[in-house]
Amino acid sequence: MIMRALLSLGLAIVTVSLTGCAGYKVGSTAAFPSGQHSIQIGLIQNKTLEPRLIESLNNALRKRLQQDGTYKLDSRGESDVVLTGVITRFDRSPLSVQPGDVLTVRDYSLGMTAKLTVKDRATGKILFDREVSGRTTIRSGTDLASAERQAVPLLAEDLARNATSLIVDGNW
């Protein structure tokens, strides 16, 4: 009797364990296998007053798309889809002030928004057209300009991470 109960319990545990991961999918979550399609990062424009944002965003997008692996990165103009974009916003917001001095900001939040478009090269159909944002935090210290300059790659990396997940996994 006890043996039968233990056998039933063991069988139930094995069954639950095997069906617990039934919704998990290994590999690409796109509608096609990884590496089957290619993407080219085209022209990215900067409509803000902050210089050097384009290079950081281009580098971060390339790195993220390569790491993801869903699309092959193409630089020769023979890709299946082309990603283009416009950086529309770059802002700095105060987060905290110096203890005992409510006028001196200690930490800032940096934000960047870009309107990204992914277009099918063959048909011209727009597959993805959205604004994507990224954020990071900096400590101003004595030189706010240097702190911002050092934080721009981190900001671009956050935006690229958000964009890649939307482009690769999103419902176009």
What are the pLDDT digits (tens) for 129-160?
Answer: 999 999 999 998 888 889 999 999 999 999 99
Q: Is residue 7 part of a domain?
A: no
- Rounded CA-CA distance 93/51 in Å is 18
Q: Is residue 1 part of a domain?
A: no
pLDDT band at 5 (very low <50, low <70, confident <90, very high): low
Question: Is residue 102 pLDDT above 90, yes or no?
Answer: no
Q: Is residue 24 part of a domain?
A: no
CATH code: domain of residue 62: 3.30.160.150
Beta strands 71-73 and 37-46: pairing type?
A: parallel
Q: Is residue 153 part of a domain?
A: yes
Which spans in the chain are helix H? 2-19, 53-68, 144-169
- Listed in order, strand segments (DSSP E) in 35-155 are 37-46, 71-73, 81-98, 101-120, 126-139
- What does the block give as tokens for 142? 């004595």
Residue 141 per-residue DSSP state: T
- Rounded CA-CA distance 45/17 in Å is 50
Q: Is residue 11 part of a domain?
A: no
Q: Is residue 116 part of a domain?
A: yes
Q: Is residue 19 part of a domain?
A: no
pLDDT value for 28: 46
Mean pLDDT of 75-82: 87
Domain count, the chain: 1
Tokens 């364990």, located at residue:
17
- Rounded CA-CA distance 11/72 in Å is 44
Question: Is residue 22 pLDDT above 70, yes or no?
Answer: no
Domain containing 44 equals: 34-169
pLDDT band at 26 (very low <50, low <70, confident <90, very high): very low
The terminus-to-terminus CA distance of the chain in angstroms comes to: 57
Q: Is residue 57 part of a domain?
A: yes
Which residues, listed in sequence order, are joined to residue 44 by a DSSP beta bridge?
85
pLDDT band at 78 (very low <50, low <70, confident <90, very high): confident
pTM for the model stands at: 0.78
List the strands of the sheet with 71-73, edge to edge: 71-73, 37-46, 81-98, 101-120, 126-139
